[in-house]
Amino acid sequence: MQTLEEKLRPYPELPPRVALVWGMMEAIREQTLKFVSGLSEKELSTRAAPGAHTIGTLLTHIAETELSWIKDVVLQKPMTKEEKEEFRSDLYGKPDDPQAPAVPLEFFLENLERVRGLTKETVSRLKDADLETIRVEEGKEKRYEDSIGWILYHLVEHEAGHQGQIAMLKRLIREKDGNKG
Domain membership of residue 169 (yes or no) is: yes
Number of domains in the chain: 1
Domain membership of residue 66 (yes or no) is: yes
Give me the mean pLDDT over the 98-107 stretch.
91
pLDDT single digits (tens) 78-97: 999 999 888 887 776 676 77
Bigger pLDDT: 109 vs 87: 109
Domain membership of residue 21 (yes or no) is: yes
How much is the pLDDT for 108?
Answer: 97
Domain membership of residue 181 (yes or no) is: no
Q: Could you tell me what percent of the chain has a pLDDT over 70?
A: 96
Domain membership of residue 112 (yes or no) is: yes
How much is the pLDDT for 164?
Answer: 96
How much is the pLDDT for 181?
Answer: 57
- Above 90 in pLDDT, residue 109? yes
Domain membership of residue 87 (yes or no) is: yes
Which residues touch 124 (CB under 8 Å, ≥6 apart)? 13, 14
pLDDT single digits (tens) 130-163: 999 999 988 778 888 999 999 999 999 999 999 9
Domain membership of residue 75 (yes or no) is: yes
Structural domain of 71? 4-176
- pLDDT-derived band at 43, boundaries 50, 70, 90: very high
How much is the pLDDT for 96?
Answer: 74
The pTM assigned to this predicted structure is 0.92
Distance CA 12, CA 26 (A): 15
The CATH number that applies at residue 19 is 1.20.120.450
- pLDDT-derived band at 65, boundaries 50, 70, 90: very high
Domain membership of residue 81 (yes or no) is: yes
Which residues touch 52 (CB under 8 Å, ≥6 apart)? 95, 169
The mean pLDDT of the chain is 91
How much is the pLDDT for 116?
Answer: 98
Bigger pLDDT: 61 vs 50: 61
